[in-house]
Amino acid sequence: MAAEPELPTFISQDEPFRWEGITELAYNQNPGSPFSQVTRRILYDREHGLGVQVRYFEVAPGGWSTLEHHGHPHEVIPIRGRGGVLVQDAIHHVAPHDLIYVPSWAWHQLRAEGDEPFGFICIVTVERDRPVLPTPEEIEAIKASDPEVAEFIRY
């Protein structure tokens, strides 16, 4: 079997938050998932000894990621702009270099705040389950958990 090509040991930025040879992708691989103005870049893709995939997502001003949950956790590190992050029943207002952990099956959604794009690194396991969207009943339950959460979520 042919060996996979070696990962480059260094990738430079072409410009801030853009990396040489790394292309912008559609945000969502799951048809029908609602979101607004989010792009995705895969920084480290295939299995390379760590068992994780490292992605960079960018949410344009006014944009939001899909409200979802799943069995695999996320580690999220904002690196650009400011954002609001729902994790289960709490909203965190985050800035570059804050740290966010999304536990297994926690509802989550990320929104840009302010006039700048909100960009964040998101680390996931290579082997992972597919995101699950909330049912209408679950949306009502999420909204009922807290008025701030009810105001925050988009779907």
Active site residues: 122
The H-assigned helical ranges of 19-146 are: 136-145
- What are 125's strand-pairing partners? 52
Burial zone of 85 (CB within 10 Å; 0-12 exposed, 13-18 middle, 19+ buried): buried
Please enumerate in sequence order all residues whose Cβ is within 8 A of that of 8, keeping only pairs 6 or more positions apart, or say none. Answer: none
d(CA 73, CA 57) in angstroms, rounded, equals 16
Distance CA 146, CA 154 (A): 15
Residue burial 110-127, b: 16+ Cβ < 10 Å; e: rest: bbbbeeebbbbbbbbeee
**Residue among 123, 139, 117 at smallest CA distance from 64:** 117
